[in-house]
Amino acid sequence: MLRVGIVGGGQLGRMLIQAGIDFALEVHVLDSSADSPCHGLAHEFVVGSVLEAEAIRRFARGLNLLTLELENVSVEGLEGAREEGIAVFPQPEVVRLCQDKGLQRQYYAERGFAGPRFQLWAPGEPIHLPFPLIQKSRRGGYDGRGVQRVPSPEALWPVPSLLEEEVPIAKEVSVIVARARHGEIKAFPPIEAVFHPTAHLVTHLRLPADIDPQAQKEAQEIAMDLAESLQIVGLLAVEFFYTTAGKWLINESAPRPHNTGHITTRATWTSQFEQHWRALLGLPLGETQVHTPAALLNILGPPGQTGKPSYPTLSQLLAIPGLSIHLYGKKRSTPYRKLGHIIILSEDIPTLQARLNEAQALLHVAVS
Ligand code: ADP
Query: Cα 322 from chain centroid?
Result: 24
- The band of 142, judged by pLDDT with boundaries at 50, 70 and 90, is low
Q: What percent of the chain has pLDDT over 70?
A: 99
Whether 248 and 218 have beta carbons less than 8 Å apart is answered as: yes
Q: How far apart are CA 148 and CA 99, in angstroms?
A: 18
Tell me the torsion sign for CA atoms 23, 24, 29, 35. Answer: positive
Residue 70 identity (one-letter amino acid): L
Chosen domain end from 105, 137, 165: 165
For the segment 32-46, the average pLDDT, to the nearest whole number, is 96
Do residue 308 and residue 236 come from a single domain? yes
> Helices marked H in the chain — which ranges?
11-21, 53-60, 75-83, 92-98, 101-110, 213-230, 264-267, 272-281, 314-318, 349-362
pLDDT at residue 331, rounded to an integer: 93
Radius of gyration (C-alpha) of the chain in whole angstroms: 20
Chosen domain end from 67, 88, 109: 88
How many structural domains comprise the chain?
3
pLDDT at residue 1, rounded to an integer: 84
Do residue 190 and residue 65 come from a single domain? no
Q: Is residue 300 in some structural domain?
A: yes
Residue 248 identity (one-letter amino acid): W
Q: Is residue 93 in some structural domain?
A: no
Ligand 1 centroid–CA 125 distance in Å is 23
Instruction: Compute φ and ψ for 65, nearest 5 degrees.
Output: -150, 140
Q: Is residue 319 in some structural domain?
A: yes
Give the Cβ contact number of residue 231 at 10 Å.
12
Whether 162 and 184 have beta carbons less than 8 Å apart is answered as: no
Ligand 1 centroid–CA 286 distance in Å is 31
For the segment 11-25, the average pLDDT, to the nearest whole number, is 98
Do residue 209 and residue 122 come from a single domain? no
Among 24, 26, 31, CA closest to 45: 31
Residues with CB under 6 A from ligand 1: 116, 134, 136, 146-147, 164, 166-167, 169, 172, 239, 251-252
Q: Which atom of ligand 1 is nearest to the CA of 165?
A: 23
DSSP state letter for 262: G
Ligand 1 centroid–CA 172 distance in Å is 9
CATH for 226: 3.30.470.20
pLDDT at residue 198, rounded to an integer: 84
Among 67, 50, 139, 64, CA closest to 96: 139
pLDDT at residue 200, rounded to an integer: 80
- The band of 105, judged by pLDDT with boundaries at 50, 70 and 90, is very high
Q: Which atom of ligand 1 is nearest to the CA of 252?
A: 6
Whether this model's pTM surpasses 0.85: yes
Among 96, 161, 104, 97, CA closest to 129: 161
Q: Is residue 339 in some structural domain?
A: yes
pLDDT at residue 201, rounded to an integer: 84
Supply the residue whose CA is at minimum distance from atom 9 of ligand 1. Answer: 147
Do residue 54 and residue 83 come from a single domain? yes
DSSP state letter for 290: B
Do residue 151 and residue 252 come from a single domain? no
Do residue 173 and residue 314 come from a single domain? yes
Q: Is residue 58 in some structural domain?
A: yes
Average pLDDT in the chain: 96
Q: What percent of the chain has pLDDT over 90?
A: 96
Pairing of strands 147-150, 133-137: antiparallel
For the segment 237-249, the average pLDDT, to the nearest whole number, is 98
Among 255, 200, 254, 241, CA closest to 118: 241
DSSP state letter for 130: P
- What crossing angle do the helices spanning 11-21 and 272-281 adopt, rounded to 10°? 70
pLDDT at residue 141, rounded to an integer: 61
Q: Is residue 108 in some structural domain?
A: no
Kindly report, residue by residue over 280-330, the tens digit of the pLDDT. 999 999 999 999 999 999 999 999 999 999 999 999 999 999 999 999 999
Do residue 151 and residue 175 come from a single domain? no
Whether 63 and 205 have beta carbons less than 8 Å apart is answered as: no
Do residue 228 and residue 343 come from a single domain? yes
Ligand 1 centroid–CA 167 distance in Å is 10
pLDDT at residue 143, rounded to an integer: 55
For the segment 118-146, the average pLDDT, to the nearest whole number, is 88
What residues make up the domain containing 123? Answer: 117-165
Give the Cβ contact number of residue 354 at 10 Å.
14
Do residue 196 and residue 267 come from a single domain? yes
Lowest mean pLDDT, pick from 12-16, 107-111, 288-292, 335-339: 335-339
Q: Is residue 95 in some structural domain?
A: no
Whether 104 and 98 have beta carbons less than 8 Å apart is answered as: yes
Supply the residue whose CA is at minimum distance from atom 11 of ligand 1. Answer: 147
Whether 216 and 190 have beta carbons less than 8 Å apart is answered as: yes
